[in-house]
């Protein structure tokens, strides 16, 4: 290696290390302002925007899109949109709710989103959500078919005036409360899968109350730690620890113990089976 190459290499490595050190120090001292009232800088904004676009594109290439112009589909999509999306994103003539106005990044108007995101990408975003923004993942709350319904509605959204939107709201009754029957498009039920359960845990806020080994950020002690739950004799001190009782507890803790501080979280049968499969991997001494 020639001398100048070596010098250039050392200089580059040294400046990278200095930058990392400086960044680390800034984080540690607390200079970075995390408040939702301080805007992202233009640099951070573009970085996030570009990551979002590229990430979604990579994950949707070749995805098959079902027919979206069916009238029933569009109306069903409207009913879900009104139940789950308007609160944050607003609609023609409808402002977002006060809590949503305080989010950073602010939820975009979906009139615009429907124009510049292809249908497959909208589907992916709605199904998976966007980390570190306020955008929730809907796959644990809506079936795939229902998500496509919402996408179908979003395609007609840009053409609706505030008067049209108000008319739709009058014409179409709100969705009834969810019953327990799984959606028609649900795949065949399968035996509990621990890996799926580990993922599902994060989608039912379990991590905000329990310390759970192997789950990053699950270090709260509102409820008992779940380490070694597989070897415990009782669930919550009241139910013998069998798989059937675990499913009962996960789906309906307040039916087991009306005074429990653990709320009913709307865990589906399949998700409860997966979560139980994961919990039974948590043995004593691990
Ligand atoms: C709790 C508030 C909240 C709810 C509820 C919500 N969103 Fe979002 N959504 C956000 C935020 C925040 C973003 C990220 C900022 C942004 O890019 O708009 C976002 C982003 C999006 C995007 C990407 C928009 C773009 O142009 O970048 C789409 C599409 C979207 N949401 C659709 C939906 C749909 C459909 C629903 C209902 C099923 C929904 N959202 C419910 C907060 C929410
Ligand atoms: C708001 C807080 C809260 C949330 C969210 C919560 N739990 Fe709990 N959980 C508790 C409390 C508190 C108990 C203790 C029982 C009681 O006091 O009723 C408990 C008990 C349990 C037990 C029995 C533990 C033992 O030692 O016997 C299990 C298992 C459990 N929770 C799993 C979960 C799972 C899985 C989720 C997510 C689907 C979850 N919890 C969400 C608060 C919570």
In tens, the pLDDT along 201-240 reads 999 999 999 999 999 988 989 999 999 999 999 999 999 9
pLDDT at 122 over 70: yes
CB 205 within 8 A of CB 137: no
What distance in angstroms lies between residue 205's CA and the mean position of ligand 2's atoms? 10
Q: What is the average per-residue pLDDT within 1-22?
A: 88
d(CA 194, CA 206): 15
For the chain, helix (H) and strand (E) counts, in that order, are 13, 2
Entry field: residues in the chain = 286
Q: Does domain 194-279 correspond to CATH entry 2.60.40.420?
A: yes
Q: What Cα–Cα distance (Å) separates residue 25 from each residue in 19, 73, 213?
A: 10, 53, 29
pLDDT at 27: 87
Domain locations along the chain: 43-171, 194-279
Task: Label residue 115 by pLDDT band (50, 70, 90).
Answer: confident
- Alpha helices, DSSP H, located in 132-268: 144-156, 162-171, 194-201, 243-251, 253-256
pLDDT at 79: 96
What distance in angstroms lies between residue 142's CA and the mean position of ligand 2's atoms? 24
In testing the pocket of ligand 1, which one of 107, 123, 147 has its CB within 8 Å of the most ligand atoms? 107
Query: pLDDT tens, 145-187?
Result: 999 999 999 999 999 999 999 999 999 988 887 655 555 555 6
Residues with CB under 6 A from ligand 2: 201, 204-206, 208-210, 222-224, 226, 229, 232, 235-236, 250, 257, 260-263, 265, 267, 275, 279
In percent, how much of the chain has pLDDT > 70?
A: 95
In percent, how much of the chain has pLDDT > 90?
A: 76
Please name the helix (run of DSSP H) or strand (run of DSSP E) that holds residue 23, with its range, or none: helix 3-29
In testing the pocket of ligand 1, which one of 49, 59, 88, 146 has its CB within 8 Å of the most ligand atoms? 88
pLDDT at 64 over 60: yes
Q: Does domain 43-171 correspond to CATH entry 1.10.760.10?
A: yes
Mean pLDDT of the chain: 91
Residues with CB under 6 A from ligand 1: 84-85, 87-89, 100, 103, 105, 107-108, 110, 113, 117, 122, 125-126, 130, 133-136, 138, 150
What distance in angstroms lies between residue 153's CA and the mean position of ligand 1's atoms? 15
Instruction: Report the candidate in 188, 212, 191, 190 with the shortest Cα–Cα distance to residue 201.
Output: 212
pLDDT at 81 over 90: yes
Atom of ligand 1 nearest to the CA of 112: 26
pLDDT at 31: 87
Structure tokens at 128: 């998976």
pLDDT at 162: 96
pLDDT at 69: 95
pLDDT at 209: 95
pLDDT at 286: 56
Q: What Cα–Cα distance (Å) separates residue 206 from each residue in 125, 155, 217, 224?
A: 23, 35, 11, 11
Atom of ligand 1 nearest to the CA of 80: 38
Exposure string of 192-214, with b = 16+ CB inside 10 Å and e = fewer, is bebebbbbbbbbbebbebbbbee
Instruction: Indicate the angle between helix axes 144-156 and 71-84, nearest 10 degrees.
Output: 100
Q: What is the average per-residue pLDDT within 64-81?
A: 96
Q: How many CB atoms lie within 10 A of CB 92?
A: 17
pLDDT at 183: 53
């Amino acid at each position: 290696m020639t001398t100048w190459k070596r010098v250039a290499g050392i200089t580059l490595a040294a400046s990278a290390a200095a930058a990392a050190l400086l960044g680390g120090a800034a984080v540690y001292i607390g200079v970075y302002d995390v408040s939702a009232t301080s805007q992202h800088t233009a640099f951070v904004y573009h970085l996030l925007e570009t990551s979002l676009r590229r990430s979604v594109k990579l994950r949707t290439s070749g995805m098959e899109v079902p027919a979206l112009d069916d009238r029933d589909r569009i109306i069903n999509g409207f009913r879900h949109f009104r139940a789950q999306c308007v609160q944050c994103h607003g609609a023609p003539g409808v402002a977002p709710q006060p809590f949503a106005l305080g989010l950073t990044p602010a939820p975009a108007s979906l009139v615009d989103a429907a124009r510049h995101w292809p249908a497959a990408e909208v589907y992916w975003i709605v199904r998976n959500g966007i980390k570190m923004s306020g955008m929730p993942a809907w796959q644990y709350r809506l079936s795939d078919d229902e998500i496509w319904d919402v996408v179908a509605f979003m395609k007609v959204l840009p053409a609706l005036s505030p008067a049209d939107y108000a008319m739709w709201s009058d014409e179409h009754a709100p969705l009834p409360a969810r019953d327990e029957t799984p959606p028609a498009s649900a795949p065949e039920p399968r035996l509990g899968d621990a890996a799926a359960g580990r993922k599902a845990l994060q989608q039912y806020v379990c991590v905000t109350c329990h310390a759970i080994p192997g789950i990053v950020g699950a270090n709260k002690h509102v409820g008992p730690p779940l380490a070694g739950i597989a070897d415990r004799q009782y669930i919550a001190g009241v139910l013998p620890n069998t798989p059937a009782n675990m499913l009962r507890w996960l789906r309906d803790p307040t039916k087991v113990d009306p005074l429990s501080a653990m709320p009913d979280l709307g865990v589906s049968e399949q998700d409860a089976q997966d979560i139980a499969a994961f919990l039974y991997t948590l043995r004593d001494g691990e």
